[in-house]
Amino acid sequence: MFKHLCIAMAVLLSGCKGDGSEWQKAVVPVVQPGATVQIRVLSANNPRLAQMSPQQMRILLASAQKTVQENFGVTVEFTQIDEMGIERVFALIPPRVLAERKQSIYDFKSAIGDKRKLAASIHDTLASRGTKLEQGFAYAKPYLPETAQPKDLMAFSELLSSVMLERLNNWRSVNAADGAPVLDAAPYNEWIYWDTLGYAKLPYELVITNQLLASAEYVDVDIHSAIRGGVSVGTTTYSRNSPFGAYVFWSTFPFLDNSENTVRMRGGETYSAEEAAQLSGSYLAHEIGHLLFQFGHPFGQKSCAMNPVSMLRFRAWSQQIDSASCPISSRPEMNVGAVPPIFNTHWLRMADKP
């Protein structure tokens, strides 16, 4: 999904964040129908959390390949999986860029955060993506308080921000296998860090982690991650070193975890080891749609692999997709180049300074 991806519609390019930064679109990769593309893979795990076995990783990638083939008509070949701890991966992030970007993190762990600013930023993101209140609210309604009836996009954004913060807080009581909270003082859960990694010269188009990605930030929060309490399953975002102009980071946590919180968000779905890997790969095809074709999100159009999963109901999502009913170019969001990743030239220059 782009949890997030600050959308790059032409009208907004001059100031996506309104901070005078310099934003540019990544070019649209040229991927012909029937093409074979190679994707370099890194596994970046947190040793405190459960992780997929080598066999599960094979199932995951095979499932992604099959789903991409069926839905987008191209063959992806994954390289052998390299491995690196998250700490080492994060050490690649250019420190000056990270220092600037950290200002966008809503610090929920210290309970220091500006709720009004969060709501305003959600509103900006929805407006910039052309989100219509009716469509957005219909998508989120089953997962919002029953009495909710926002009168406009701002009221909807305020509702989303309060739901997001309440549910994000719930993740703090979920424990890892070692008995300590999954979310600790380490910044591994912070979407901003992962979203900044592409400013390093990262030699991978896909980074798979077992980390729970749950956070709030004053940029790029969209409906589906807000109602999950700031959880990202994956994101496709700018990467300077990728032939596609972007890379995917992907969390296996929502597939592997069986805490009450996660299972509730799955609508009760639980998975065998094999199904967890298979569903994770299937849904990864959604990110590969962003990566190779820059598709957007046809929210609520359940036949589309580019429709974000509702909460964490991966099995339901997988059963509903139907490539014949949602071919490329069938909807504005399914046009190649619909939502190009954008990058900040100021940050790029900053990354190159010693």
> What are the beta bridge partners of residue 106?
216
Shortest Cβ 53–Zn ion spacing (Å): 27
Shortest Cβ 290–Zn ion spacing (Å): 6
Shortest Cβ 295–Zn ion spacing (Å): 8
> What are the beta bridge partners of residue 175?
181
Looking at beta carbons only, is 1 or 86 nearer to Zn ion? 1
Measured CA angle at 279 (ends 241, 7), to 5 deg? 45
Looking at beta carbons only, is 94 or 229 nearer to Zn ion? 229
Please give the residue whose beta carbon sits closest to Zn ion in the complex: 1
Looking at beta carbons only, is 15 or 130 nearer to Zn ion? 130
How far, in Å, CA of 96 to CA of 85, rounded?
22
Q: Considering only residues 1 through 30, tell me which ones interact with Zn ion, judged by CB under 5 A.
A: 1
Q: What is the residue-wise DSSP string for 330-346? A: SSGGGSTTSS--EEEHH
Measured CA angle at 330 (ends 77, 238), to 5 deg? 45
Shortest Cβ 308–Zn ion spacing (Å): 5
Q: Considering only residues 65 through 84, tell me which ones interact with Zn ion, judged by CB under 5 A.
A: none
Q: Considering only residues 295 through 324, tell me which ones interact with Zn ion, judged by CB under 5 A.
A: none
Give the start-end residues of each E strand in 19-124: 23-25, 36-39, 41-43, 75-78, 82-83, 105-106
Shortest Cβ 339–Zn ion spacing (Å): 9
Straight-line distance from the first to the last Cα atom of the chain, in angstroms, rounded to the nearest whole number: 33
Could you tell me how many residues of this chain bind Zn ion (CB under 5 A)? 1
Looking at beta carbons only, is 256 or 291 nearer to Zn ion? 291
Looking at beta carbons only, is 1 or 159 nearer to Zn ion? 1
Residue in 32, 12, 13 with CA at minimum distance from that of residue 23: 13
Interface with Zn ion (CB under 5 A): 1
